[in-house]
Amino acid sequence: MGRDRCDSDRLAGRFSERGVVVGHASLSEFRRTVLERGADLYRDLPWRRTRDPYAIWISEVMLQQTQVARVEGRWQHWLERFPTVDALAAAATADVLEEWQGMGYNRRALALLKAAGIVSAAGGSMPSDVADLVALPGIGPATAAGIRAFAYDLPGVYLETNVRSVFIHELFPGEKKVADKDLVPLVEAACPSDASDPADDPRTWYYALLDYGNHLKRTLSNPSRRSSAHVRQSRFEGSHRQKRAELVRILLDHRADGGAPVATLTEELSAVELKAGRGALSQAEVDDLIGELGREGFCYFDGVNWTA
């Protein structure tokens, strides 16, 4: 295997220190299991057919807390509209928000736009260095590691929910509240250090983890729920976040009209709430919502109307 150069004894020692019952005698055995399962379960997803770091960055952001089926089609359409980082950087905020609708977490769209502006101003090439990537708005350690692995075939700690599922299922059987601080050194040790073996490079390794983890979540009680990082997602319908998202959608609908006054926004948002069986909003409540969105860069006030 391409990872025999790993320090298997050091990894096994780390397990014994924690008193964890492990079904693998060595790191090599664990990695062999993952690569074999990953090959059997491989998903030929569209963003796996490119090494364009911009396209992979977009897929990584879209896939955060979002099912793969929702991203397929949306990713392709995004790239048709904003095919390069320079094209995204030059886009209007409203156009980017419009394209993002239905993906959830509108802040991510604004972060993409801001980060694209920074990258474009620096020459238009996505960085590969971890520090440079995480310095960009909206890119955390996991997203940076995903870009490095899938675009540049570079090692890193790509710790997301499917990856957690595999490590917890295979190496922490029956244990609850498994902390990321215990997973990170294992994920780092297991990742190939280079791309010298095309059957076992960082890109192939993390695809195997993602596909095996996805399988585990569908066929077992989700192992990642035994992570201390697992948080049950709060209810969206009726939440503050839902009202913000709906208000953004209403603002986008009024773009052709040059925006809308708060009274109109209040009436239309209240209609949505009443249809859902909730109460109407006061103009003061919508004032607070629209002011919050304005401060964050989602819209602006021209003296009469609010416009996305």
What is the helix (H) or strand (E) element at residue 300, kind and residue range?
Answer: strand 300-301
Domain spanning 46-152: CATH superfamily? Hypothetical protein; domain 2 (1.10.340.30)
d(CA 31, CA 11): 12
Residue of 30, 27, 31, 32 lying closest to 12 (CA atoms): 27
Residue of 185, 211, 198 lying closest to 6 (CA atoms): 185
Residues of the chain with pLDDT under 50: 1-10, 12-21
Give me 114's structure tokens. 């801001």
Give me 15's structure tokens. 């397990």
d(CA 284, CA 290): 10
Q: In the chain, pLDDT over 90 holds for what percent of residues?
A: 86
Task: Answer yes or no: 60 catalytic.
Answer: yes
Q: In the chain, pLDDT over 70 holds for what percent of residues?
A: 92
Contact 276, 238 (CB under 8 A): yes
Name the CATH topology of 240-307. Arc Repressor Mutant, subunit A (1.10.10)
**CATH 1.10.340.30 domain position(s) in the chain:** 46-152
**CATH 1.10.10 domain position(s) in the chain:** 240-307
From the list 36, 60, 99, 188, the catalytic residue is 60
d(CA 100, CA 152): 26
d(CA 73, CA 193): 33
Residue type, 149: A
**How many whole angstroms from its chain centre is CA 255?**
29
How do residues 25-45 score in pLDDT, each as one tens digit?
Answer: 688 999 999 999 999 999 999
Give me the helices (H) in 172-259, please: 180-190, 202-219, 240-253
pTM for the model stands at 0.91
